[in-house]
């Protein structure tokens, strides 16, 4: 490992141990959406008023509402209130989080991390879309909307590390060292960010434990199982589902590899439509 990588890793480890991250703030509009969705007294009109203040978020929500995954019948949604009625308030939060991840993690123009951040954001929306489908089509005890949210947030640790590494361009010439420190630290960093941004403990635990392969097969599945499987699919392609074998995560979701392959084949159009909706 180069001196630059060593110094960066040492500082990152110190920050994590002491809880002194220079965490990016949750973007203001997304924070207002989060607060509104969490307020039991809020309604569609109040949420629509917040979304309307951010055109990029409104456009993302409209694409989601008109996606094959969310569309109900041939009618196309053309206004924010109807879009929220169609997808539900929790899904509006997901639209806000996908928007927030783009706003919160940025590199200076021309920085070496730009392509890495773009690739990670694209991976996040794929994992999120797969997570929604897997949660809905398996024995996962939670809501598919929550699984999508975990998918959108699962790589914020990597986004953070790449963004911070932009201050050390020499790290990008030592990719093995950079990948090693990301592999070592990203789940812990992700948990710190998710907790800092005020998301539920279940999501914080899910992103922290997303790479644990060996699990209690008898216990009921959780978000870490969803993320484990969907990360594999995002890397290998959905056509590889039938070759995943007898994974603990699949057993905990009361599903096997053949059932997963059948589910993904059936939902292929819906998955792609949501990926395109969240990418913008």
Over residues 42-61, the pLDDT tens digits come to: 999 999 999 999 998 999 99
What superfamily would CATH give domain 19-279? Hypothetical protein af1432 (1.10.3210.10)
pTM assigned to the model:
0.90
Provide the pLDDT for residue 165: 75
Provide the pLDDT for residue 189: 87
For the chain, domain boundaries: 19-279
Alpha carbons 240 and 59: distance in angstroms, whole number: 33
Provide the pLDDT for residue 106: 78
Over residues 246-276, the pLDDT tens digits come to: 999 999 999 999 999 999 999 999 999 999 9
* Helix, coil or strand: residue 28: helix
pLDDT band at 16 (very low <50, low <70, confident <90, very high): low
234/98: higher pLDDT: 234
Residue of 124, 135, 151, 126 lying closest to 237 (CA atoms): 126
Provide the pLDDT for residue 162: 82
Evaluate whether 193 touches 157 at the Cβ level (below 8 Å).
Answer: yes
- Look at the alpha carbons of 237, 173, 16, 157 in this order and tell me if their dihedral is positive or negative: negative
């Amino acid at each position: 490992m180069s001196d630059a990588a060593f110094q960066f890793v040492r500082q990152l480890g110190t920050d994590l141990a002491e809880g002194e991250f220079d965490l990016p703030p949750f973007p203001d509009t997304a924070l207002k959406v989060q607060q509104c969705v969490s307020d039991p007294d809020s309604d569609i009109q109040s949420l629509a008023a917040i979304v309307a203040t951010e055109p990029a978020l409104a456009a993302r929500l409209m694409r989601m509402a008109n996606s094959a995954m969310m569309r109900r019948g041939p009618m196309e949604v053309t206004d924010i209130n109807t879009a929220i009625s169609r997808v539900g308030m929790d899904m509006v939060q997901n639209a806000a989080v996908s928007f927030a991840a783009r706003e919160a993690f940025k590199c200076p123009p021309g920085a070496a991390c730009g392509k890495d951040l773009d690739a990670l954001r694209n991976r996040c929306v794929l994992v999120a879309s797969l997570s929604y489908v897997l949660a809905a089509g398996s024995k996962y005890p939670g809501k598919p909307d929550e699984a999508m949210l975990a998918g959108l947030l699962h790589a914020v640790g990597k986004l953070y590390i790449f963004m911070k590494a932009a201050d050390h361009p020499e790290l990008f010439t030592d990719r093995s060292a950079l990948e090693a420190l990301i592999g070592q630290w990203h789940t812990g960093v992700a948990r710190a960010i998710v907790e800092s941004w005020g998301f539920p403990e279940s999501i914080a635990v899910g992103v922290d434990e997303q790479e644990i392969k060996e699990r209690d097969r008898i216990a009921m599945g959780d978000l870490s199982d969803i993320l484990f499987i969907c990360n594999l699919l995002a890397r290998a392609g959905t056509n590889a589902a039938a070759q995943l074998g007898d994974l603990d995560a699949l057993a905990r979701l009361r599903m096997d590899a053949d059932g997963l392959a059948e589910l993904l084949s059936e939902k292929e159009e819906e998955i792609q439509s949501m990926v395109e909706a969240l990418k913008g």
